[in-house]
Structure 1
Amino acid sequence: MNVEDVMTKNPAACNVSTSLKGAALLMLENDCGQIPVVNDQNEPVGVITDRDITVRAVSKGVDVANTSVEAFMSSPVNSICFNMPLKDAVCQMEAESVRRIPVVCEQGTLKGMLSLADLAKADKHQATAELVKKVSEAPAQK
């Protein structure tokens, strides 16, 4: 089984100039907690999470309507290729202690997102449980 078999295809994405409020609305509309940030060539350059917005920005009184995601996104961002074996993707997510990761095609453009939820729905064996355990024990992401 490859990443493409279980990933969320065509995810919502934003660019560096998208406001934090705009990113939060995308998360609400798409029922997700992380939005990839892409450049003009649709290549991932970062990610913005619900935690970035609430804990890092809102808690500090930042004007989310007038502050871009660039100020609070995590960058650079690692990604995985859509045709990577799922087992290898799980190992990379574990090594990087991430719960979600952008998926790209051979040219590096955004093709999807792979999340723990995607793995849990598709993977009926111990690998998902082990990944959840390892990622949950890791230090919190910024």
Structure 2
Amino acid sequence: MKAKDIMTSEVITVKKDTPIEDIAKILIEKRISGVVVVDDENKVVGVVSETDIVKKEKNIKVPSFITILQGVVFLDSIKEMEEDIKRVAAYKAEDIMSSDVLTVNEKDDLEYVANLMIEKSINRVPVVDDTKTLKGIICRYDIIKSMFSR
């Protein structure tokens, strides 16, 4: 069995400039846990999940520091604080989306897809064709359904 045999082909997508409030409404109304972010050519550029939206509300962690010889030495990462600030101030999908998205090809075997999802602890994986155009999505539910509906 191939990815194309079990994927959901009607994928709910958003663009990078979609407001986070609109994405939250989509997740609630459609009762889904994430959306694929695509560009104008329908290529996958990211994913926004419930976790990404919840992280947006995370408090900013100010780095601890000490002073040595009248200089400031930060004990925590300033970069981490900058990322926290970006998340809290996020307005659009591109501000909070995960951009290092794993995809599978529509010709990949179901076993490969299932193993990838388990190994990488991901709940959904976009399915693309040879040109990297979005064709569908596979969620863990789709795999379970395929296993028990034979």
Fold match (TM-score > 0.5): yes
2:24 maps to a residue whose letter is A
Shift of 1:58: 3.0
Structure 2 residue aligned with 1:93: 117
Q: Distance in 2 between matches of 1:31 and 1:104?
A: 23
State the Cα RMSD in Å. Answer: 2.0
1:76 aligns with 2:100: yes
Shift of 1:20: 0.8
Structure 2 residue aligned with 1:44: 44
Shift of 1:30: 2.4
1:35 aligns with 2:8: no
Structure 2 residue aligned with 1:137: none
Structure ranking higher in strand proportion = 2
Write the deviation string for residues 6-29 of structure 1: whole angstroms up to 9, x where unpaired.
111121101111111111122223
* Uncovered stretches (5+) of structure 1, i.e. residues with no partner: 126-142
Structure 2 residue aligned with 1:110: 134
* Uncovered stretches (5+) of structure 2, i.e. residues with no partner: 60-86
Shift of 1:95: 2.5
1:58 maps to a residue whose letter is E
Instruction: Give 1:59-70 correspondences, 5 Å limit.
Output: 59-60=58-59, 62=88, 67-70=91-94
TM-score, normalised relative to structure 1 = 0.77
Deviates further, 26-35 or 74-83: 26-35
Structure 2 residue aligned with 1:20: 20
Larger Rg: 2
Q: Secondary structure at the match of 1:8?
A: coil
Structure 1 residue aligned with 2:57: 58
2:43 maps to a residue whose letter is E
Shift of 1:121: 1.2
Structure 1 residue aligned with 2:71: none
Q: Percent identity?
A: 29
TM-score, normalised relative to structure 2 = 0.74
Length, aligned pairs only: 122
